[in-house]
Homo-oligomer: A and B are copies of this chain.
């Protein structure tokens, strides 16, 4: 009975003042946008006008960039920003349909608190919340939470898996129709429809129930972005949206197939997992105009900032002792993001890049695909991946805000709509409905 045409899913990755690390220095940038609510409200309303499935906020539990001192750090343009759950709760009031997804770490929170805040956001937004599940990968964050160094990779994922069991179990504390509000009988809920978790595990002991009724979406949408073997397996088990980073279609296709196969191995429907690679769009009336825009941003990258970014992306591996114009050295094993380190190492080797060239190559897309050109050529590039098994949609990372989002909504989305690849109006009201994801059954409702 499935007659609807498959449509591209779009997320808007919003980080003030833009995804490019030089963006804050651009004349159009709101350099203080990270703590300007009006700036974010305008951005999200623009994304909603463009019919994006969701906006997406990344996060870190601290000032994560590994600069060696305050002087170096002072050149970095995004050391302060709103905390995502408070910001999205405020944005819920300023919007009506668009999904609201935030990153939160399983490493330095308690599952009860996370389950509660995302369920609360789902109630506040009438079913528009999404949670990007991450493990925290930097020592800078560990030092804010009673540790000197980050947890090792395997321990982070072990904790994350049990964290998900607890959180989803808490979300199912109450059946959808548990609350009776029977004033006459003095019966607030039906006790047969309360399911107390009583989780006892290796990392967590959590009794429950959650003190919120079941969320409008049942569960907030689960998003995940880990690309290592552990990360892919985690995604296959838990994720409904997978953010990923690929430069070439063949890589994207291989990842897409691999994750969907693993999803099937976990007994899940592969159509219920949407693979959304990041794209960094640079939009011009001509290719040359787009290239000029990019060059302007690249010129704004301070070498101190570029080198710090590289250290961070390599998983806290400091390469500042090596010549900037020499090759990337052999790298020690990281306990940070393994997949990202490998991606960069292979890129440097295969393209013969110096350290300076390498950091310049990631100052914009940070390993994500750069799509540069006219609205038509960018639509071509998105369509190619979408129709050839590389993507179910894209996480759009505007280089500079608000300009990059205004251009995408004003120029690229209409082109995708003309091609019948993207909605012209929201059909549903919840993020699950936008993404074509089923509402999870609750406890007591298993078939």
What separation, in Å, do the CA atoms of A365 and B304 have in the docked complex? 61
* Closest partner residue, chain B, to A40 (CB atom): B124
Chain A 337-384 interface residues, beta-carbon cutoff 8 Å to B: none
Instruction: Contact check, A74 vs B112: say whether CB atoms are below 8 A apart.
Output: no
Chain B residues, Cβ within 8 Å of A192: 70
- Assuming A87-B89, A93-B90, is B183 touching A24 (CB within 8 A)? yes
Give the shortest distance, in Å, between A332 (CB) and chain B (any CB).
Answer: 23
What separation, in Å, do the CA atoms of A93 and B90 have in the docked complex? 6
Instruction: Contact check, B83 vs A116: say whether CB atoms are below 8 A apart.
Output: yes
What separation, in Å, do the CA atoms of A143 and B389 have in the docked complex? 46
Supplied contacts A112-B144, A144-B208, 8 more A-B pairs, CB within 8 Å: A37-B93, A74-B194, A85-B89, A86-B86, A86-B120, A86-B121, A93-B93, A186-B302
Instruction: Contact check, B82 vs A143: say whether CB atoms are below 8 A apart.
Output: no
* Closest partner residue, chain B, to A35 (CB atom): B123
- Assuming A63-B211, A83-B120, A179-B32, is B187 touching A75 (CB within 8 A)? yes
Instruction: Contact check, A87 vs B188: say whether CB atoms are below 8 A apart.
Output: no
Give the shortest distance, in Å, between A321 (CB) and chain B (any CB).
Answer: 22
Chain B residues, Cβ within 8 Å of A144: 112, 206-208
- Assuming A86-B89, A120-B83, A123-B35, is B74 touching A187 (CB within 8 A)? yes
In the assembled complex, A228 has its CB within 8 A of some CB on chain B: no
In the assembled complex, A108 has its CB within 8 A of some CB on chain B: yes
Give the shortest distance, in Å, between A105 (CB) and chain B (any CB).
Answer: 10
In the assembled complex, A320 has its CB within 8 A of some CB on chain B: no
Instruction: Contact check, A71 vs B191: say whether CB atoms are below 8 A apart.
Output: yes
Contact residues on A (Cβ < 8 Å of other chain), bracket: 35 or more
Which of B29, B116, B143 meets A207, CB within 8 Å? B143
Instruction: Contact check, A181 vs B32: say whether CB atoms are below 8 A apart.
Output: yes
Which of B92, B145, B179, B189 meets A112, CB within 8 Å? B145
Q: Nearest 7 A-B pairs (CB), nearest first?
A: A143-B207, A70-B191, A89-B89, A83-B120, A31-B181, A93-B93, A86-B89
Residues 21-45 of chain A: 1 if any B CB is under 8 Å from the residue's CB, otherwise 0?
0001111010110010100000000
Instruction: Contact check, B35 vs A190: say whether CB atoms are below 8 A apart.
Output: no
In the assembled complex, A394 has its CB within 8 A of some CB on chain B: no
In the assembled complex, A73 has its CB within 8 A of some CB on chain B: yes
21 contacts between A and B (CB under 8 A): A24-B183, A25-B183, A25-B184, A25-B186, A61-B112, A62-B208, A63-B211, A70-B196, A71-B191, A75-B188, A79-B189, A79-B211, A80-B179, A85-B85, A86-B120, A86-B121, A90-B124, A112-B144, A147-B205, A148-B205, A186-B305
